[in-house]
A and B are shown apart, each in its own frame.
Chain A
Amino acid sequence: MRPIHALTHALAPLALALAAAGCSTIGDDSSSSAPDDATKPTRVVLVTHESFSLPKPLIKQFEQASGLDLVVRATGDAGILTNKLVLTKDDPLGDVAFGVDNTFASRALDAGVFAPYDAALPDGAEEYRLPGDDEHGLTPVDDASVCVNVDDTWFADHDLAPPRTLDDLADPAYRDLFVTPGAATSSPGMAFLLTTIAAYGEDGWQDYWTKLMDNGVKLTAGWSDAYEVDFTQGGGHGDRPIVLSYDSSPAFTVSGGTSSTSALLDTCFRQVEYAGVLDGAANPDGAEQLVDFLLSPEVQAALPESMYVFPVDSSVKLPAEWARFAEQPSDPYEVDPGAIGEHRDEWLREWSDVTSR
């Protein structure tokens, strides 16, 4: 006798039937809107990072005006997005990519991910163009500066003048007060490393970081660890009153008509996010319409509250709290995107060495 046959015969057809019937609770809705090769495309696919968000009525408006279904594929952060685009460039994931920023842009451009599209830019957007992108592969959509933030209430309570500059952060008066996400694991953390590289030069930033480490800077994995756990004004009420965050962050700590925090505008690095038509897009026409849509006054006005970033369109009116409390730096630190692409690996390695010593 071969007794285990019992189980064998009972289960195999069952499992096969289950698998074949695909008795799934999730319907496959992608087939209905998939484009046929010869007919007019019915949809446009936006590949983006997980922070992408726009009000639903705006998306409806675009779909009605263009007659296209907007399919949003949002995963990972700017780095993951860029690498996905590079790895799939022969068979792109969609028609438009939004969310590649100036720290990753050169990698995408070098790989030939984007097709040229010279969109008509709104007022004031020209200055956000990516240096060196002469073929117009990328179109600026929004910007946000990464700046050191301080808890003004804490400093008032402790009779201490808050720091103002990068040098101050290494001053023993501010020992053990600063928390920042690390450059290797966090995009604002990387921006802060670039700030220090721009400020102290390619050979000087290592010394600055050594001083920072000696002065008790705390490194965390991500922005939320630093802001929500260790920062005194974060959700977890930590004990460090200096944190790396954004220029817009003070608009989120408003109560009773004043903000309890402020951004140090001399410590900022500007991150610009771009949109671009993907080379080999199934629907290049729709893709260009989508890029134009991202530059439209309606979307530009919705950016602050939907994605916590500033519009590139200078004529757009900002939300009241932003207009009052979110001040943008006039002269942020800059690093050439090409240099970032070339040295990212080496800088991160050196940074890891300095900070784990």
Chain B
Amino acid sequence: MRRAFELAGLSALPLAVLGVFFVLPVSGMVSEGFVADGRFDPGGVLEVLGRPRVHRVVWFTVWSSTVATLVAVLLGLPVAHLLHRRRFPGRGVLRSLLLVPFVLPTVVVGVAFRELIGESGPLGFLGLDGSAVAIVAGLVFFNVAVVIRAVGAAWESLDPRPAEAAAALGASPAQVLLTVTLPALRPAIVSAASVVFLFCATAFGVVLTLGGLRYSSVETEIYLLTTNLLDLQAAAALSILQLLAITGLLVVTGRLRAVPDPALARSVRRAPRPSRGDWPGVVATGLVLLLVGAPLAALALGSLRVGDAWSLGNYRALTGAGSQHALLVSVTDALVTSLRTAVDATWMSLSLGLLVTVVVTRRSRSRTERRVRGLLDGLFMLPLGVSAVTLGFGFLITLDRPPVDLRDSPLLVPIAQALVALPLVVRTLVPVLGGVDDRQRQAAASLGAGPLRTFATVELPLVWRPLTAAAGFAFAVSLGEFGATSFLAREDHPTLPIVIFHLIGHPGAMNYGMSLAASVVLAATTALVMLAVDRLRVSSVGAF
């Protein structure tokens, strides 16, 4: 009985937040589609699912996201190894640099990509502009950081002794990798892959900008149906399809994540320097740097050009209002708003994420209990897979009357961003916390440690790295979030991505240059914050 109460008590707050800010708006929006001419009409929704166009759209979404996820994982794993298990100068800078794409607004990255691969760009001869290859490359560009960071954090806290034992017993490095390391990392890899898949499947700007309108995904289709055609019936059908697909994905990944014997090191040894055997990591890192670096370089170079000359003019203009008063707020003001919002979104998603993690990683005593915990685990992943458009419109039509009259609250933006970041936080923490050996806690407790002390000496040192990784993720998600924010941001306090979008959407050479410069500022800010977060060490906490 007590366990049931505790389960309910711990999950009450996250469930309430999810209920009000996700379930309510999304179901409100979906139910609009079920009512035609004032009557409940589920047949119309079903009819939509039979359209050939819908089948095409679903098929494209599935295969492009699958390919992008596979590429991101294959590229990301060796990089994660090099950046998290090896020690070399500049490692911290590389790590934070690779997270930069994750926060950049797709409109600007789309422009940077297309300047490279467009007909007149340096890579124009490849003929990639408007191709599916360009879309997949764009998806990998944005999401490879998720694999590197989430898997890297788990890899860092992996106990090296089983691998060493296997090697001592004569296993080749490849055998060690396949039979010891990868199985131990499986929860983290599957977690990262499922998040990447959801990000890819709900990508919007990349598909439209890089695909040259030749491709439609479920997400772009929902956007068109909701914002342009106001065909809520079809949009509802696709939203339900999204929800079903995510649920299926979560069931599968939930099975794959389960690991019989997790092994985490209590203390992490100093990482060795790279050796000859690390060539796959070096090659993959080089490739990822190229993929991430080329568009970023195009962006940075473009931001330094005014007319036909090199100049810092675009940067100097950032404190002003843009040519012809394009902006109500300066880019510097927007940056401050972005940072403040990100702080809020980070603490919200971290506190909710920790609660959820504790609930879902706790060892279950019965099958029902395990089912309930598994269900909760999946539930908090849902916000990643549902269209920001559906959520944004849903906020407007459901959160408009007491007790939750929040339509105009400035807190809505960080709350929405926290919801988007929450799955990442949970997926980063669960593999590690789930791997804490119960006997360590028991030992601490039987030695007389109280609950707080047990937490500080056993769990915190283990959770610290993934916690900083998760905080970094949450902060980055918030800094870069555009979809939901664009629906909610108020004109007197827009965030930086909103301002960048505004700048690039208006004529005037200066506005274009400023939007590039503002993107570089956003990228640099992100890199600096990530660098600072990674420097936070736990050595002062706990007495060992």
One digit per residue, 1 when the CB lies within 8 angstroms of any chain A CB and 0 when it does not, for chain B 476-496 equals: 000000000011111111000
Given known contacts A9-B452, A184-B228, A308-B324, is B10 in contact with A51 (CB within 8 Å)? no
The segment from B83-91, B111-119, B191-199, B268-276 found at the interface with A is B111-119
- CB neighbours of A246 from chain B (8 A): 507
Given known contacts A83-B393, A93-B396, is B209 in contact with A3 (CB within 8 Å)? no
In chain A between 8 and 41, which residues have their CB closer than 8 angstroms to a CB of chain B? 8-12, 14-16, 18-19, 22-30
Measured CB to CB, the closest approach of chain B to A295, in angstroms, equals 20
User: Interface size for chain A: under 10, 10 to 19, 20 to 34, or 35 or more residues?
Assistant: 35 or more
| The one of A1, A14, A229 that contacts B446, using a Cβ cutoff of 8 Å | A1
Q: Which of A75, A230, A345 has the most CB of B within 10 A?
A: A75
- CB neighbours of B6 from chain A (8 A): 8
Given known contacts A73-B490, A237-B120, is B115 in contact with A107 (CB within 8 Å)? no
Question: Which single residue of chain B is at the shortest CB-CB distance from A92?
Answer: B400
The segment from A120-128, A166-174, A191-199, A215-223 found at the interface with B is A215-223
Cα distance A5–B401 when bound, in Å?
38
Query: B411–A28 contact, CB under 8 A?
Result: yes
Cα distance A10–B224 when bound, in Å?
46
> In this assembly, does B369 line the interface, its C-beta being within 8 Å of a C-beta of chain A?
no
- CB neighbours of A184 from chain B (8 A): 213, 224, 228
Query: A229–B324 contact, CB under 8 A?
Result: no
Measured CB to CB, the closest approach of chain B to A238, in angstroms, equals 5
Given known contacts A230-B118, A239-B120, A305-B324, is B455 in contact with A6 (CB within 8 Å)? yes
Given known contacts A224-B111, A236-B115, A305-B325, is B393 in contact with A6 (CB within 8 Å)? no
Cα distance A77–B498 when bound, in Å?
13
Query: B118–A220 contact, CB under 8 A?
Result: no
Question: Which single residue of chain A is at the shortest CB-CB distance from B223?
Answer: A185
Given known contacts A5-B451, A7-B455, is B414 in contact with A53 (CB within 8 Å)? no
| The one of A19, A76, A182, A238 that contacts B227, using a Cβ cutoff of 8 Å | A76
> In this assembly, does B178 line the interface, its C-beta being within 8 Å of a C-beta of chain A?
no
Query: A75–B488 contact, CB under 8 A?
Result: yes
The segment from B92-100, B146-154, B354-362 found at the interface with A is B354-362
Question: Which single residue of chain B is at the shortest CB-CB distance from A84?
Answer: B396
In chain A between 281 and 302, which residues have their CB closer than 8 angstroms to a CB of chain B? none
Query: A28–B410 contact, CB under 8 A?
Result: yes
Measured CB to CB, the closest approach of chain B to A323, in angstroms, equals 15
> In this assembly, does A154 line the interface, its C-beta being within 8 Å of a C-beta of chain B?
no
One digit per residue, 1 when the CB lies within 8 angstroms of any chain A CB and 0 when it does not, for chain B 326-362 equals: 1110000000000011011001100110110010011
Given known contacts A12-B355, A234-B512, is B451 in contact with A6 (CB within 8 Å)? yes
For this complex, 10 residue pairs linking A to B, each with C-beta atoms less than 8 Å apart, are: A1-B445, A7-B451, A11-B351, A16-B13, A25-B344, A28-B411, A84-B396, A222-B505, A225-B114, A238-B120
Enumerate chain B interface residues (CB-CB to A < 8 A).
Answer: 6, 9-10, 13, 32, 107, 110-111, 114-115, 118-120, 130, 205, 208-209, 212-214, 220, 224, 226-231, 302, 307, 324-328, 340-341, 343-344, 347-348, 351-352, 354-355, 358, 361-363, 393, 396-397, 400-401, 407-411, 414, 433, 438, 441-442, 444-446, 449-455, 458-459, 486-493, 498, 501-502, 504-509, 512-513, 516
Contacts A6-B449, A305-B324, A356-B213 supplied; 16 other A-B pairs, CB < 8 Å: A4-B358, A6-B452, A6-B453, A6-B459, A8-B6, A8-B10, A11-B355, A12-B10, A15-B355, A83-B226, A83-B227, A84-B396, A87-B397, A218-B212, A230-B114, A246-B507
